[in-house]
């Protein structure tokens, strides 16, 4: 991420404040990304624990789940239903692609 994008984000947060709507937008987007990562790593939980990669994948899976859980607990959630619909529309193509690659050919 470039410094210009960080500056734009800081400026927008300063202008709006870190209210419940802003926290909800951030939490819904990051939470979706972390849950998708967890879904990618979840397959390893069903694998035999004899491979060299298992401890890494197992640890990363639980870090993703833990982050999503902590984020959900510390966020001041908004009562604005439109935010949740916007977030669903934003992340829907990612989840649709996830499910597409999960279905057998």
Q: Which helix (H) or strand (E) holds 72?
A: helix 54-74
* Prediction pTM value: 0.74
Taking only the tens of pLDDT, the chain with its 105 residues reads: 688 888 988 898 888 888 999 899 999 989 888 888 888 888 777 777 788 888 888 888 888 889 999 999 999 999 999 999 999 998 899 888 888 887 776
- For residues 47 and 99, is the Cβ–Cβ distance under 8 A? no
Closest CA to 73 of 31, 35, 29: 31
pLDDT of residue 89: 93
In sequence order, what are the residues at sequence separation of 6 or more whose Cβ sits closer than 8 angstroms to the Cβ of residue 13? 22
Say how far apart CA 19 and CA 22 lie, in whole Å.
5
pLDDT of residue 85: 95
Half-sphere exposure of 23 (CA within 13 A, CB side): 13
pLDDT of residue 23: 92
């Amino acid at each position: 991420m470039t410094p210009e994008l960080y500056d734009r984000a800081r400026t927008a947060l300063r202008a709006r404040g870190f209210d419940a709507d802003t926290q909800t937008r951030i939490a819904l987007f990051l939470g979706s990304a972390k849950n998708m990562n967890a879904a990618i790593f979840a397959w390893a939980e069903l694998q035999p624990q004899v491979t060299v990669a298992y401890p890494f994948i197992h640890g990363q899976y639980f870090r993703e789940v833990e982050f999503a859980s902590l984020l959900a607990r510390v966020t001041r959630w908004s009562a604005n239903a439109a935010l949740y619909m916007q977030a669903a529309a934003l992340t829907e193509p990612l989840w649709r692609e996830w499910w597409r690659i999960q279905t057998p050919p």
